[in-house]
Amino acid sequence: MKWNVGAKLATGFGLVLACVLAVGAACYGATADLIQANEQRRITAGILNRLDDIVPLVKEIELGTRSYYLTGDEQFLRPVGPATERAPRLLQEIRQLIGTGDSQLRRLDAIEPLVKNRIEHVRGTTEVYRSQGSKAVVQRILAGGGLGITNDITRVVREMQDEARADLQRQVGETEANSRNAVLTIVVGTGLAVLAALLAAALLTRTIARPLRQLTAHAARIERGDIRAEIPEDARADEVGALARAFSGMTRYLQDIAAQAERMASGDLRTSIAPQSADDMLGNAFQRMSGNLRDQIRGMVEAVSVLGASTTQIVASTSQLASSATESAAAVAQTTATVEEVRQTAELSNQKAQHVADSAQKAVQQTLDGRRSAEDLDAGMERVRRQMESIGTSMARLSQHGQTIGQIIATVEDLAVQSNLLAVNASIEAAKAGEQGKGFAVVAQEVRSLAAQSRQATAEVRAVLGDIQAATAAAVAVTDQGARAVQAGSEQTAVARVAVEGLSASIGEAAQAATQIAASSHQQLVGVDQVAGAMNSIKQASSQNMVSARQLESSAQGLNDLGHRLQQIVSAYRL
């Protein structure tokens, strides 16, 4: 029987799988036993827990009813109702947990009527208490019916608890035994499975993995490009032997291709390799590559010949271009320097024109200020003229008032003379009257005195009035002279204002012309700057062209050298 790799692998894995299945089956059985034992323990523990609640419930019912019988307080009956409802539920739950246990079911069948009778007894005693009073209840309790039922319930419950505890102990022992058996089964089965796996791994390693490692090492050397290693022939009939023989044939084929490539690398393009088959991608590609390479080398030889002749012409042309670019760069540099001098001159002219325009603007502003001052002076002279006319009018009225005052003074003087005459006449008449006229004489004396004072005051006023009239006449003469002077000043101011306005117009025209000159100079400067910028750009472009021409000359020289080297290289190939 020939064992191939698949059969060996299937046998090894089948052995390991059989051991694993055996261990799994044993573990499953032990686990099922443990689960069943734990379930029984849970049921038994549930029965014990519920049995532990039955007797306290009965005690709670008795305690609540007795407290009610002693006190008559209804609140002691509140726990009794839930307890009487819970007790039957506990018995039903215990029945469900017991299942088919004969002894426990018999005891449960015995305890259920007892609990029911005890509850009925409590309810009946409560009704008796409510209907007949506490004495009837005492007699009912002394009859002993309720106490006996409670003792029977307690006895049966204890028997069930004892049997449940014994079952629990037995179940614990069985669980521990099942656990030990499961652990032993798992340990032994795992050891057998590991032993089988190790045995299968050793067989597979000796028959499959070791030859594959050798082939992998040879493949790694081939991956690094080392195809000099010889792979020994393997007479095995399985897949590993076939793989070794295929590797050996592939190595020989790669060695043949490497030898042909070495000949091509030495310059012998006459060699060729025959593909192994139509599906031999490497052989076909190598054959096409050698044919294409021969064609390309032939074309390259022709192209190199043309390239050599062309590069010689290019070198001569680039040398002439570099010389022309150098001369152009020198001429552009001189032109740029000239344009820069023109730009500086235009900039200086622009500054001077701007200064003249600024000065003209200041002169225009000053003439405007002078014209406004002349206008203000003209207006002031007009006001002075009007004031002088007003003063003349006032002086005329003052002269008229002086004449009126003179007339009044003359009248007062006449009154003083007449009063003096009257006083003299009164004195005469008083002297004639004697003693009776003394008082009248005194009055006459006083009147005469007042008349003398009036004449004196009138003379003083006349003198003052004469001075005022003289001053007024002088003021009128001065006012006339001032009015004539003001009139002359107004006429001269008008002439000066006309002259200032003409000067302002002339200076404005000059300032406008200066501004236009400055603007034209600025535009000229901008144009010269643009020309200078353009010349700088042309200079930079010329410099770049000169550098490019030098680079092109260098590149052409390098291309010429490359053409010669290519001619030397292609001459080494044999077609």
Domains: count for the chain: 3
pLDDT at 384: 67
pLDDT at 514: 64
> Residues 385, 431: one domain?
yes
Q: Determine the 3-state secondary structure of 156 from DSSP.
A: helix
pLDDT at 341: 76
* Consecutive H or E run containing 380: helix 281-433
pLDDT at 33: 75
Check which CATH number belongs to the domain holding 452 and give it.
1.10.287
Q: Which residue has the tokens 């057998």?
A: 192
Q: Which residues on adjacent β-strands are paired with residue 574? A: 268
Q: What is the mean pLDDT of each run of 10 residues along the chain (575 residues)?
A: 62 74 77 78 83 83 82 82 84 80 75 84 82 79 73 84 84 80 81 80 71 74 72 64 71 75 72 73 74 74 70 72 70 73 72 71 72 72 74 73 75 76 76 72 75 78 75 70 70 70 68 70 72 74 73 76 74 65
In a domain, 500, yes or no: yes
> Residues 177, 260: one domain?
no
> Residues 426, 523: one domain?
yes
In a domain, 227, yes or no: no
In sequence order, which residues have a C-beta less than 8 Å from that of residue 335 and are 6 or more positions away?
535
In a domain, 549, yes or no: yes
pLDDT at 364: 66
In a domain, 93, yes or no: yes
Tokens describing residue 438 = 């003394």
In a domain, 229, yes or no: no
> Residues 516, 397: one domain?
yes
Q: Give me the half-sphere count of Cα atoms (radius 13 Å) on the Cβ side of residue 20.
A: 7
> Residues 185, 283: one domain?
no
How far apart are alpha carbons 110 and 122 in whole angstroms?
Answer: 19
In a domain, 484, yes or no: yes
Q: What is the pLDDT of residues 56-89, one digit of tens each?
A: 888 888 888 888 878 878 788 888 888 888 888 8
Q: What is the pLDDT of residues 159-189, one digit of tens each?
A: 888 888 888 888 788 888 877 887 888 888 7
How far apart are alpha carbons 500 and 370 in whole angstroms?
Answer: 7
Proportion of the chain above pLDDT 90, given as a percent: 0
> Residues 116, 149: one domain?
yes
Q: Name the residue range of residue 263's domain.
A: 239-287
In a domain, 167, yes or no: yes
Between CA 279 and CA 286, with CA 284 as vertex, the angle to 5 degrees is: 140
> Residues 248, 132: one domain?
no
> Residues 282, 305: one domain?
no
> Residues 272, 197: one domain?
no
> Residues 272, 306: one domain?
no
pLDDT at 410: 77
pLDDT at 315: 66
> Residues 260, 356: one domain?
no
How far apart are alpha carbons 53 and 66 in whole angstroms?
Answer: 20
DSSP state of 232: P
Q: What is the pLDDT of residues 6-64, one digit of tens each?
A: 666 677 677 778 877 887 787 777 778 778 777 778 888 888 888 888 888 888 888 88
Q: What size, in residues, is the chain?
A: 575
pLDDT at 483: 67
φ, ψ at 213 (rounded to 5°): -65, -40
Check which CATH number belongs to the domain holding 97 and give it.
1.20.120.1730
In a domain, 397, yes or no: yes
Q: Determine the 3-state secondary structure of 574 from DSSP.
A: strand
> Residues 262, 330: one domain?
no
pLDDT at 515: 77
